[in-house]
Amino acid sequence: MFIARSMFAFGVFALSVTMLGSIAAQAETYELDPVHSTFQFRVKHLGVSFAYGRFNDSKGSFVLDPNDPSKNSIEVEIQTKSVDTANKMRDEHLAGPDFFDVAKYPTMSFKSTSFTKKSDTTYEVAGDLTIRGVTKPVKFDATLVGTGPGMKGERRAGWEATLVIDRTEYGMTYGTEGIGTEVTLQIAIEGVTK
């Protein structure tokens, strides 16, 4: 009788572990946590240094499937008026028609078209980047920093990526003699399950 109960208990435990494992391995949708996500950029100034800035207002979501990376996806939208370089005059210039023209183009966005796994934590991401109403295909490597439980029973996952673009391809041709045309986007995203 004791052996039978022990075997039954072990069976229930094994089944529970298997079910939990399968749940954890399923595709999950994460909402962007803006408090723990950063969209930063840098551009050369006069060829001697870098100027840095960031965007403070973003939203988006991503799907993470540990078993089938082809099902991974990400979509992000940024409010261009949230551009912040810690200098009010420069921020106002960036918000104007010479650069982001926020009155005409209030958002910029990225939507992935494919994920290709390169290693345990690295993926090649392809997608469409839209700035100032111009959409261009881009491709970059993204690192899955980690996944795990949050503090309120939710699950969290984080990504980091670096992407280099030519700003003139998006209609930002102002000041190329002193401001670099190559812009590096440095992205850190944390998502929380819905």
Write out pLDDT tens, residues 129-139: 999 999 999 99
Confidence check: pLDDT of 18 > 60: no
- What's the burial of 146, exposed, middle or buried (CB within 10 Å: 0-12/13-18/19+)? exposed
Confidence check: pLDDT of 151 > 80: yes
**In terms of residues, how long is the chain?**
194
pTM of the model: 0.85
Give the model's confidence band at 25: pLDDT under 50 very low, under 70 low, under 90 confident, else very high. Answer: low
pLDDT of residue 52: 98
pLDDT of residue 17: 40
Confidence check: pLDDT of 30 > 60: yes
Q: Give the separation between CA 143 and CA 62, rounded to whole angstroms.
A: 14
pLDDT of residue 194: 78
Over the chain, what is the mean pLDDT?
Answer: 91
Q: What is the pLDDT of residues 39-82, one digit of tens each?
A: 999 999 999 999 999 999 999 999 999 999 999 999 999 999 99
Domain spans, the chain? 27-193
- CB contact at 8 A, 81 and 68: no
Q: What is the pLDDT of residues 98-129, one digit of tens each?
A: 999 999 999 999 999 999 999 999 999 999 99
Q: What is the CATH number of domain 27-193?
A: 2.40.128.110
Pairing of strands 155-166, 179-193: antiparallel
Buried b (16+ CB within 10 A) or exposed e, 42-81: bebeeeeeebebbbeebebebbbeeeebeebbbebbbebb
Q: Give the separation between CA 119 and CA 116, rounded to whole angstroms.
A: 9
**Of 76-80, 152-156, 188-192, minimum mean pLDDT range:** 152-156
Q: In the predicted model, what is the mean pLDDT of residues 141-167?
A: 97
User: What three-state secondary structure class fits 79?
Assistant: strand
